[in-house]
Amino acid sequence: MGLQIGDQAPDFKLFSSDLKETSLADFKGKKLVLQFFPMAFTGTCTTQLCTMRDSFGFYQGMNAEVLGISVDSPFTLAKFKEEQFYQFPLLSDFNKETSRAYQSIYEEFVYNLKGVSKRAAFVIDEEGKIIYAEVLESAGDLPDFDAIKKVVEG
């Protein structure tokens, strides 16, 4: 069934590409857009995060923060962030706990890879409640960016 609108967002503590521990509590009082993605340096994932990069000013203007989350290591994510000029943190869910908590994980992925984040988008309000949830089964699909923007605008 997955997480629903109105549910309390699961807490997380993950290391960013800057090796800084980041948690959900760090964003209390702001809206938070979580973008889960399967793997750095792949085509659709790059498109997903570049779309967020190119809309970053909009989210900043709406008192919203953006985070990207994948099971890649913080070191891989640091290189990905540097090459693509992302202005927002990329968080490493290397241990797969947050992807599981958000019910956004492929137990079996391509090339026999196990435990890879699904492409998913969540918007969390200022009090930590989910106000948008989209988990995609196909890694080739992209989140509904227009719907995300509308929810952030409130």
Q: 9, 120 in Cβ contact below 8 A?
A: no
Q: How far apart are CA 104 and CA 83, in angstroms?
A: 26
Q: Would you please indicate which residues are annotated as catalytic (active-site) residues?
A: 45
The count of residues in the chain is 154
Token pair of 92 as six digits:
């490493």
Q: How many helices (H) and strands (E) does the chain have?
A: 5, 9
* Residue 1 DSSP symbol: -
Q: 73, 92 in Cβ contact below 8 A?
A: yes
